[in-house]
Copies of this chain bind each other. A is one copy, B any other.
Amino acid sequence: MSKIPVIEIFGPTIQGEGAVIGVKTMFVRTYGCDYRCGWCDSSFTWDGSAKDKVQMMEPEEILNELERLAGNNFDCVTISGGNPALIGEAMGTFIQGLHERGIQAAIETQGSRWQDWFCDVDVLTISPKPPSSGMNTDFEMLDSIMDKLQQGGRSAHSLKVVVFDEADFAYAKSVHKRYPAVPLFLQPGNENVTEEGDISARLLGRLEWLFGLAIADPEMNRARVLPQLHALIWHNKRGK
């Protein structure tokens, strides 16, 4: 397959979370997911509600669209989903195209599938889903992905776990113990992704709660707790 199912392209905006929090980026969101997380903030990428918005695009077409939207006003493209790891060779070609233009590729995926292009991603975030998602982590698969990343490639990779409750925090700890050499980011979950208006007070309350858990736990001395800055500022609006 030489095309990529794209559901939205937007930016430039600021990356609001994870390893490159605060950096200017374009977003390319792919359609389709092998997960159905209960609290997914982008369920339109898999629940069928926006299926008619999907465009099958060649890597070159996406590159052109990014340039049309933002000219030279970005050095980073974040590829999100859905699960971008469902896409094979075409994504490798797209990442190569970014690099030829001097642009970094940042990608987040849950670690349920491997793709050889993972090793070419500049900022790769593996975000296994905690119990509150309703999903089960395939740790055999995750182990094999983390092994391959460790051995090969120039990818700077990190782990990110979204935390809604204490069970999720325990899960994050077990992930941290399993891959102690890999930087771990913790992010408080957004408990209502459809609420309208200013949700910043609620989100800051959850950040303070998660700060508290990390502060109290000597096994989390090296984890990093970060909010979603875009949600603090732009709330639940899409395309920001």
Could you tell me which residues of chain A, from 29 to 76, have a CB within 8 Å of some CB in chain B?
71-76
Judged by DSSP, the binding face of A is: mixed
Residues A201 and B200 in contact in the complex (CB < 8 Å), given A21-B21, A223-B24: yes
Chain B residue at minimal CB-CB distance from A220: B24
Stretch of A106-114, A172-180, A189-197, A225-233 on the interface side: A225-233
Q: A201 CA to B214 CA in the complex, in Å?
A: 25
Shortest Cβ gap from A100 to chain B (Å): 17
Q: Is A23 an interface residue (CB 8 A)?
A: yes
Chain B residue at minimal CB-CB distance from A104: B222
Q: Is A218 an interface residue (CB 8 A)?
A: yes
A73 touches B12 (CB 8 A): no
B232 touches A204 (CB 8 A): yes
Per CB-CB distance, the 8 closest pairs between chain A and chain B, nearest first, are A22-B224, A75-B221, A22-B226, A73-B218, A208-B233, A22-B225, A14-B211, A23-B224
Shortest Cβ gap from A60 to chain B (Å): 22
Q: Is A133 an interface residue (CB 8 A)?
A: no
A221 touches B20 (CB 8 A): no
Q: Is A141 an interface residue (CB 8 A)?
A: no
The residues of B that contact A185 with a CB separation of less than 8 Å are 22
